Amino acid sequence: MLAQASKDAARMAQPVGVGLDSAAVRARMVRRLETLAGSAVTQAMAEVPRHRFVDPALAPQAYEDTALPIGFGQTISKPSVVARMLQLLSEGEAARSLGHLGRVLEIGTGCGYQAAVVCLLARALVSVERIEGLHRQALARLTEWRSERQLHLPVRLIHDDGSRPHGLSGPFDSIVSAAGGDAVPPAWLALLAPGGRLVAPVGGDGLQALEVVDVQAGPQGPIFNRQRLEGVAFVPLRSGIA
């Protein structure tokens, strides 16, 4: 599978356009994010070439603070939203104790950009994508980028129903979702480790907000503490695979 992913990545090679391969371009983007995230998150975002995770025609817009289409009716989140969500994860009890995001579950791999950033902040990553075409593209891009960076942390990309993923072995210290439903699925909460934190968009009828869920061990079972934060706009969380 890895060999095939490498071949796929070569076929999707991104252009090295004017300035696109420059760390200075990413640095300008990151400077705009410093009010939203700490040094660990912003440094990770400075090191990931966002233009390599979007269609070549959209590469000139890769470092603007905007969502971009990635095909299949899906989008790559704004850099500011990625920074905000990963910073919220990093402030969870487990992450603060560990000094990193620990073992991470990502719902909605999309193009693989956020997964790449997480690779620099975590010790293991499992990412689930329901759309097979996106799953394959992300696998190819991440395989190529991780090979170049010589990153050896355990990473597993799965084509599955993210709303109720099958066969996952928890617990996870951090869970982040790139799609929003009416409520956080109980299946996700069951995978959180004590001290773990989940960050996901929640809400229906186009009125979404970020929800942060922290879990503590209690005498009668886990205790979930929830915070509802600012409004956001994400693609809807859908069940099934495509």
CA separation for the pair 19, 69 (Å, rounded)? 21
User: pLDDT at position 21, please?
Assistant: 54
Residue 217 lies in a domain: yes
Place of tokens 């009668």: 220
Looking at per-residue pLDDT, the higher value among 67 and 19 belongs to: 67
User: pLDDT at position 4, please?
Assistant: 46
The pTM score is: 0.90
Residue 240 lies in a domain: no
Residue 54 lies in a domain: yes
Q: Which domain holds residue 36?
A: 2-232
pLDDT digits (tens, 9 = 90+) for 29-81: 999 999 999 999 999 999 999 999 999 999 989 999 999 999 999 999 999 99
3-state secondary structure 188-231: HHCCEEEEEEEEEEECCCCCEEEEEEEEEEECCEEEEEEEEEEE
pLDDT digits (tens, 9 = 90+) for 74-128: 999 999 999 999 999 999 999 999 999 999 999 999 999 999 999 999 999 999 9
What does pLDDT average to over the chain? Answer: 91
pLDDT digits (tens, 9 = 90+) for 198-240: 999 999 777 899 999 999 999 999 999 999 999 999 999 999 9
Residue 137 lies in a domain: yes
Residue 42 lies in a domain: yes
Average pLDDT over residues 2-15: 44
pLDDT band at residue 167 under the 50/70/90 scheme: confident
Residue 50 lies in a domain: yes
Query: Count of CB atoms within 10 A of residue 228's CB?
Result: 11
Residue 131 pLDDT > 80: yes
Which residues are tagged catalytic? 77
Residue 2 pLDDT > 80: no
Report the relative pairing of strands 208-218 and 221-232 from DSSP bridges.
antiparallel
pLDDT band at residue 20 under the 50/70/90 scheme: low
Residue 242 lies in a domain: no
CATH number assigned to the domain comprising residue 154: 3.40.50.150
The H or E element containing residue 94 is helix 93-98
User: pLDDT at position 206, please?
Assistant: 72
Residue 237 lies in a domain: no
Rg for the chain (alpha carbons), in Å? Answer: 17
pLDDT band at residue 25 under the 50/70/90 scheme: confident
User: pLDDT at position 22, please?
Assistant: 63
Q: What is the DSSP string of 33-92?
A: TTTTS-HHHHHHHHHS-GGGGS-GGGGGGTTSSS-EEEETTEEEPPHHHHHHHHHHHHTS
How many domains is the chain partitioned into structurally? 1
User: pLDDT at position 15, please?
Assistant: 42
